[in-house]
C-alpha cells in the first residue's frame, strides 16, 4: 500500500539525496546525454510497476548500455552512498523495480542484444534487457527451446531471473532458476564477476549464481545471462477439461500428474474470470458449459506419443468427475484457449478500479481448500476476489478488486484479507510467493512467515553483498 510505513535495509550508511555535482559526475560516465534523464523529465511510468501499489520516482534515470558503464556508476554510487534500483520492463507486481528511496534508476532495456547461441552446448547468452517473447522468436527457427513460460511475455529476461519467474510450463520443465547456467553481475562495489559457467554440473562452493536468481536487484546488477536450452518439443496438444465445480477440478489434479508423461501445464480457471477475459478480448471462449476448468497441455516429439498422454489424461479426468475433455490440437484452437488464459491479469485489471495480488504457493493438495478459504474471506470482509493459477504446482494468483471502495476501506479490507490468506498459507506449509517475488509489497508477509533465524540469514546475505545497502533498498528483507 502506498501509505504503508517504509522499513529499510540501508545498512550503516544513510542514503544520500543526489546533488547537482552528483548529476554532473554521472553525466560524465554516460557518453550519450540522452540516456541520462533527471528529475521531472523522467516519465511517470518509471515511478511504479504494473500494479501501481507503490509509487516513488527515481532522482535520475540512466539507460545503461554496457557492463563497464554500470560498473562505473556502481563505483560512484557506492562511494557516495546513493541508492541504485535496476529495472527491466517494469512488469513486476510487487514494487521490486520501484526506486523507493529515489537515487539512481538503472534501466536495462537498452542492453538487449543476443550475444551467443552455442548450439553444441545448447546455451544462449543474452543481455538482461532481451524480452521473453524475443527469446521465443529468436529460437523458433533453431530447433532449440527455452522452456520457462511466464504469462508476461514482454518482461525482460533480467527481470525474470531477478524474480525466479515460473510460468505455465513449470510442471514439466521447472522455473527460471533451472535454466540459468551463468550470470555476469556488477556488484555493489562496481566489481564485475561471472558466476556459474557453461558447465552442466557444478559443486564448486556456495552457488552465488543461485543467490542472485530471485534476489530482485538487492544483491547485484545482472548484466549478462547464459541460459540452458533444450530441444524444441515438436507437438503440443492442450485439453480443456470442464468440471461441475472447482473442487472437483482440483481433486483430479494429483491423478493427472501421475500419468506416464508429465503434462507441461495444469492450469485452473473459473467461469467468472473466463467471462471477464472474453469480454476484455471481445472474443468468446470455445466452451462455457461449466463452472470450472482445468487446462492441461502435453508436448512431445510426435503426435502419436502426445496422443497417448492426451488419451490417458482424458480418461483419468473423466474418471474423476470431468464432464468432457475438449481437444485444442491445432495452432488456432490452442490460441482460442491460451489467449484467453494469457489475458486474465489484464482482464481483471480492466474490470475494476485497482487491484492487489496474492501469489502464494501451497502444497498441491491444498489448492482447492485454499480457494474455498479465500471465498469465505471475500464474503466475510466484503472484498471482491478473483483467482486463477497453476494447479499443477500449487501456485495461486488471487486478486483483490477495489471497485468503488474508498481508499481507507480498500486498504483496511485488503490488508485483513491478505493477512488471513498468508497466515493460512503458512499454516498449511505454503510460501508467500510462488513466482512474482517479495519486492516491497510482500516484505511483511515474508518476515512473518519465515523463521527468525532464516530472516537473519537473509539479512546477513544482503549485508555480505551490499554492506552499504545501496542496491534496491527497502526490498525483500
Partner 1 sequence: MTIVALIKQVPLTSEVALDPKTGVIQRESGETKMNPYDLYALETALRISQTHGGKTIALTMGPPQAEAVVREAFAMGFDEGYLLTDRAFAGSDVLATSHALSQAIRTLGQVDLIITGKQTTDGDTGQVGAEVSEFLGIPCVAAVQQLLEISETSITATSDTGTTLMTVRVELPALIAVDKDIHQPRLPSYVRMKQTEKRQVRRITLADLPDTDRTHYGLEGSPTQVVKIFPPESNTDFALWTGVDIPGRLYEYLQKEKFLQELA
- Can you give the binding site for partner 1, defined by CB under 8 A? 239-240, 283-287, 303, 310, 314, 318, 324-333, 336-337
Alpha-carbon torsion angle 416, 421, 422, 424, nearest 10? 120
Q: Minimum CB separation from partner 1 for residue 302, in Å? A: 10
Q: Minimum CB separation from partner 1 for residue 420, in Å? A: 38
Cell of 128: 538482461
Q: Considering the complex, state which of residue 179 and residue 326 has its C-beta at the smaller distance from partner 1.
A: 326
Using CA atoms, how far residue 343 sits from 153, 275, 340, 346, in Å, is 11, 11, 5, 5
φ and ψ of 260, to 5 deg: -60, -40
Q: Considering the complex, state which of residue 320 and residue 462 has its C-beta at the smaller distance from partner 1.
A: 320
Q: Considering the complex, state which of residue 113 and residue 234 has its C-beta at the smaller distance from partner 1.
A: 234
Q: Considering the complex, state which of residue 287 and residue 415 has its C-beta at the smaller distance from partner 1.
A: 287
Q: Considering the complex, state which of residue 98 and residue 314 has its C-beta at the smaller distance from partner 1.
A: 314
User: DSSP per residue over 363-423, as a string?
Assistant: -GGGHHHHHHHHHHHHHHHT-EEEEEEETTTTEEEEEEE-TT--HHHHHHHHHHHHHHHHH
Residue 147 near residue 174, CB atoms below 8 Å: yes
- Helices 246-257, 367-381: crossing angle, 10 deg rounding: 160
Question: Which residue from 97, 60, 80 is spatially nearest to 16, judged by alpha carbons?
Answer: 80
Q: Considering the complex, state which of residue 175 and residue 317 has its C-beta at the smaller distance from partner 1.
A: 317
Q: Minimum CB separation from partner 1 for residue 30, in Å? A: 22
Residue 92 near residue 437, CB atoms below 8 Å: yes
Cell of 450: 519465515
Q: Minimum CB separation from partner 1 for residue 298, in Å? A: 13
Q: Minimum CB separation from partner 1 for residue 307, in Å? A: 11
Question: Which residue from 99, 63, 66, 64 is spatially nearest to 84, judged by alpha carbons?
Answer: 99
Question: Which residues, listed in sequence order, are joined to residue 300 by a DSSP beta bridge?
Answer: 235
Q: Considering the complex, state which of residue 94 and residue 240 has its C-beta at the smaller distance from partner 1.
A: 240
φ and ψ of 312, to 5 deg: -65, -45
Q: Considering the complex, state which of residue 269 and residue 368 has its C-beta at the smaller distance from partner 1.
A: 269
Q: Minimum CB separation from partner 1 for residue 296, in Å? A: 12
**What whole-number distance in Å separates Cα of residue 388 and Cα of residue 93?**
16
Q: Minimum CB separation from partner 1 for residue 285, in Å? A: 7
Q: How many residues does the chain have?
A: 477
- The H or E element spanning position 358 is strand 355-358
Q: Minimum CB separation from partner 1 for residue 232, in Å? A: 13
Q: Considering the complex, state which of residue 143 and residue 363 has its C-beta at the smaller distance from partner 1.
A: 143
User: DSSP per residue over 261-311, as a string?
Assistant: SPPSEEEEEEHHHHHHHHHHHT---S--S-SEEEEEEEEESSHHHHHHHHH
Q: Minimum CB separation from partner 1 for residue 162, in Å? A: 34
Amino acid at each position: 500500500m502506498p501509505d504503508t510505513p517504509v522499513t529499510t535495509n540501508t545498512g550503516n550508511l544513510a542514503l544520500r539525496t543526489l546533488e547537482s555535482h552528483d548529476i554532473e559526475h554521472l553525466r560524465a560516465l554516460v557518453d550519450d546525454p540522452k540516456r541520462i534523464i533527471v528529475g521531472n523529465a523522467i516519465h511517470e511510468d518509471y515511478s511504479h510497476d504494473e500494479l501501481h501499489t507503490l509509487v516513488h520516482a527515481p532522482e535520475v534515470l540512466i539507460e545503461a548500455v554496457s557492463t563497464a558503464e554500470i560498473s562505473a556508476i556502481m563505483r560512484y554510487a557506492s562511494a557516495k552512498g546513493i541508492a541504485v534500483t535496476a529495472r527491466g520492463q517494469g512488469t513486476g507486481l510487487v514494487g521490486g523495480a520501484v526506486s523507493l528511496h529515489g537515487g539512481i534508476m538503472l534501466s536495462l532495456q537498452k542492453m538487449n542484444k543476443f550475444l551467443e547461441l552455442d548450439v553444441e552446448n545448447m546455451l544462449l547468452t543474452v543481455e538482461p534487457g532481451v524480452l521473453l517473447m524475443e527469446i521465443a522468436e529468436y529460437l523458433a527457427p533453431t530447433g532449440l527451446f527455452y522452456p520457462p513460460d511466464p504469462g508476461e511475455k514482454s518482461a525482460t529476461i533480467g527481470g525474470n531471473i531477478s524474480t525466479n519467474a515460473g510460468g505455465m510450463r513449470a510442471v514439466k520443465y521447472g522455473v527460471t532458476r533451472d535454466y540459468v547456467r551463468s550470470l555476469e553481475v556488477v556488484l555493489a562495489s562496481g566489481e564485475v564477476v561471472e558466476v556459474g559457467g557453461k558447465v552442466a554440473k557444478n559443486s564448486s562452493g556456495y552457488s552465488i549464481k543461485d543467490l542472485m536468481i530471485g534476489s530482485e536487484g538487492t544483491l547485484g546488477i545482472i548484466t549478462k545471462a547464459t541460459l540452458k536450452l533444450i530441444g524444441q518439443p515438436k507437438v503440443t496438444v492442450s485439453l480443456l477439461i470442464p468440471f461441475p465445480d472447482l473442487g472437483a477440478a482440483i481433486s483430479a489434479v494429483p491423478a493427472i500428474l501421475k500419468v506416464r508423461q508429465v503434462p507441461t501445464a495444469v492450469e485452473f480457471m473459473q467461469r467468472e474470470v473466463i467471462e471477464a477475459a472474453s469480454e476484455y478480448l471481445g472474443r468468446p471462449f470455445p466452451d462455457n458449459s461449466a463452472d470450472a476448468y482445468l487446462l492441461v497441455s502435453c508436448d512431445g516429439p510426435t503426435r502419436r506419443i502426445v496422443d497417448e498422454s492426451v488419451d490417458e489424461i482424458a480418461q483419468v479426468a473423466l474418471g474423476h468427475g470431468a464432464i468432457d475433455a475438449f481437444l485444442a490440437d491445432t495452432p488456432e484452437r490452442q490460441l482460442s484457449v491460451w489467449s484467453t488464459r494469457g489475458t486474465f491479469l489484464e482482464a481483471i485489471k480492466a474490470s475494476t478500479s485497482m487491484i492487489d495480488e496474492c501469489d502464494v504457493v501451497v502444497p498441491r493438495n491444498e489448492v482447492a481448500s485454499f480457494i474455498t478459504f479465500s471465498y469465505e474471506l471475500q464474503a466475510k470482509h466484503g472484498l471482491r476476489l478473483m483467482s486463477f493459477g497453476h494447479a499443477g504446482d500449487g501456485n495461486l494468483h488471487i486478486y483483490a478488486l477495489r471497485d468503488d471502495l474508498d481508499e481507507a476501506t480498500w486498504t483496511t479490507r485488503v490488508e485483513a484479507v491478505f493477512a488471513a490468506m498468508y497466515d493460512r498459507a503458512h499454516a498449511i506449509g505454503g510460501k508467500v510467493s510462488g513466482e512474482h517475488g517479495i519486492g516491497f509489497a510482500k516484505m511483511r508477509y515474508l518476515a512473518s512467515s519465515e523463521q527468525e533465524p532464516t530472516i537473519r540469514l537473509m539479512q546477513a546475505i544482503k549485508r555480505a553483498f551490499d554492506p552499504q545497502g545501496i542496491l534496491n533498498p527497502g526490498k525483500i528483507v
